[in-house]
Copies of this chain bind each other. A is one copy, B any other.
Amino acid sequence: MGNLRRVPVGIVGASGYGGVQLIRLFMDHPDVEVVYVGGDSSAGKAFGDIYPHMAHTVNLKVEAVDVDAIASRCEVVFLSVPNGLACQLAPKLLEKGCKVLDLSADYRFRNLTTYTNWYGKERNDAETAATAVYGLPELYRDRIAESQLVGCPGCYPTASLLALSPLLKQGLIVPESAIIDAKSGTSGGGRDAKMNMLLAEADNSLAAYNVGRHRHTPEIEQICSELAGHEVTVQFTPHLVPMVRGILATVYANLRDPGLVRDDLITIYRAFYRNSPWVKICEAGVCPQTKWACGSNVCYIGIEVDPRTGRVIVMSVIDNLIKGQAGQAIQCMNIMMGWEETLGLPKLGFYP
């Protein structure tokens, strides 16, 4: 299909949800071949032992994490590892000429002090980190195209920033008034056995968590500040919802111009995302459902203006594991490789 050869890609951390999404998504990518999957606890296992339903289509063995081996075989490497590990692997892989896309938090921050404050880990790779680009293509497409190292956004920041960016960029809202009430399915917590994530505990229930102190807050604020042109503090509250996949960010902000109506904002959003094939602005009056986005790389955005309060309410939904994680990373890779950013990514899941 076009390219003479498939680009050899490696994935470190293949057994978690990030890894399995990457492998599944690459099955439909015409120009990529996964030639390496690596892991610690799962090294030596066939991938089909970890995910039995994939045994008939994925013939990969999880290998130990050996930077030399990876670099010798892979042109592009995805790091789907716990925070604090990517920053040990990335410098070496870059040095050996790989392009690196990190799905952890390690390369999301311009200011490593922020990282250290929120993630509690000292960093000694400042030089590498300075070259990293924040992997939200709708905002940083050009920089991503030229980068060797992309720090892919968190799932909450993706939904939140796609909702907020047009407002901040155009100066339409009072930045400090922004409140993000975000709701996520429990797959965001990963494939780790945690008591509070058991179906018996989390089903039929709903709660906020980490109020005022979730680690995605500084990531959101960093980009908001850049868009606003000054330091911005936002309110961010995550909630766990009894479903597997999907994030809805309901974003509130005070409009500077009380005369703006919903249709104005829909027009502005459509213009802002004109060249962003993965963002869809809903018709007036439509509230997006998280399920619409599940199984696809699409972000659906619904917009309301409440003339009684002078606020705009923006609703943004994504599949937290695709546009919020693995799909977005592949979208970034597409851009780094000079391909169409839609290449090989799912446009639509199955409904219902």
Task: Report the stretch among A20-28, A138-146, A330-338 that lies at the interface.
Answer: A20-28
Check B52–A206 contact: CB distance below 8 A: no
Q: Smallest Cβ distance from A240 to chain B, in angstroms?
A: 9
Binary per-residue interface labels of chain A (200-242) against chain B in the complex, 1 for a CB within 8 Å, 0 otherwise: 1111111111011000000000000000000001110101011
Identify which of A57, A183, A189, A282 gathers the most chain B CB atoms within 10 Å of its CB.
A183
Check B185–A191 contact: CB distance below 8 A: no
Task: Report the stretch among A82-90, A100-108, A306-314 that lies at the interface.
Answer: A306-314
Check A287–B211 contact: CB distance below 8 A: yes
Q: Kindly identify, within residues 326 to 352 of chain A, every residue whose CB is under 8 Å from any CB belonging to chain B.
A: 347-352
Choice from B185, B189, B194, B348 contacting A24 with Cβ under 8 Å: B348
Check A207–B289 contact: CB distance below 8 A: yes
- In this complex, what residue of B is CB-closest to A247? B206
Check A205–B290 contact: CB distance below 8 A: yes
Residues of B near A69 (CB, < 8 A) are none
Task: Report the stretch among A32-40, A111-119, A165-173, A291-299 that lies at the interface.
Answer: A291-299
Q: Smallest Cβ distance from A22 to chain B, in angstroms?
A: 11
Residues of B near A321 (CB, < 8 A) are 350
What's the number of copies of this chain in the assembled complex?
4
18 residue pairs bridging A and B, Cβ less than 8 Å apart: A53-B293, A183-B183, A183-B241, A186-B199, A191-B201, A197-B198, A199-B202, A199-B203, A203-B242, A204-B294, A206-B241, A206-B289, A211-B306, A212-B308, A235-B306, A235-B309, A237-B250, A349-B350
Q: How far is the CA of A241 from the CA of B202 in the complex (A)?
A: 13
| 8 A-B pairs with least C-beta separation | A53-B292, A205-B291, A212-B306, A193-B193, A181-B181, A187-B200, A211-B304, A199-B199
Residues of B near A293 (CB, < 8 A) are 53
Q: Is A5 an interface residue (CB 8 A)?
A: no
Residues of B near A309 (CB, < 8 A) are 176, 212, 233-235
- Additional pairs, 18, CB under 8 Å, beyond known A176-B309, A208-B250: A24-B348, A54-B348, A57-B347, A187-B352, A191-B198, A191-B200, A191-B201, A198-B199, A199-B199, A199-B202, A199-B244, A204-B245, A207-B289, A208-B287, A212-B309, A235-B306, A235-B309, A235-B311
Q: Is A157 an interface residue (CB 8 A)?
A: no
Residues of B near A287 (CB, < 8 A) are 207-209, 211
- In this complex, what residue of B is CB-closest to A307? B212
Residues of B near A194 (CB, < 8 A) are 193, 198
Check B248–A206 contact: CB distance below 8 A: yes
Q: How far is the CA of A179 from the CA of B309 in the complex (A)?
A: 10
